[in-house]
Amino acid sequence: MSKKTPLTMDGHLCLGKSVKEAMASITDIWSSTMKAFTLKSPVFRGVEKVRHNLMKLRSDLENDMFNRHGSDPRASIEVYYGKLKE
């Protein structure tokens, strides 16, 4: 079994961009399916499951980033969640 190399901070920054884009896409799909399908339909439930899993992945990646790189000034909630809208 080969040893895995943990993500660098630069790796987290790159993945964060991809995760934010994926989250925006699945949110658009979720919104569209919510308008077109019942909440109990297989289509909506499938989209909801993907959305839930992506949110869990985002949280897990953020936790890993702070555990490994918490002292790096680039480590922030914005890496995986984006800037707060005021």
Has residue 72 been placed in a domain?
yes
Has residue 10 been placed in a domain?
no
pLDDT digits (tens, 9 = 90+) for 25-81: 999 999 999 999 999 999 999 999 999 999 999 999 999 999 999 999 999 999 999
Has residue 56 been placed in a domain?
yes
Has residue 13 been placed in a domain?
no
Has residue 58 been placed in a domain?
yes
Residue 40 vs residues 16, 26, 27, 33, 47: alpha-carbon distances, Å: 31, 18, 18, 11, 11
Has residue 32 been placed in a domain?
no
Structural domain span for residue 43: 37-81
Look at the chain and report how many structural domains it folds into: 1
pLDDT digits (tens, 9 = 90+) for 21-37: 999 999 999 999 999 99
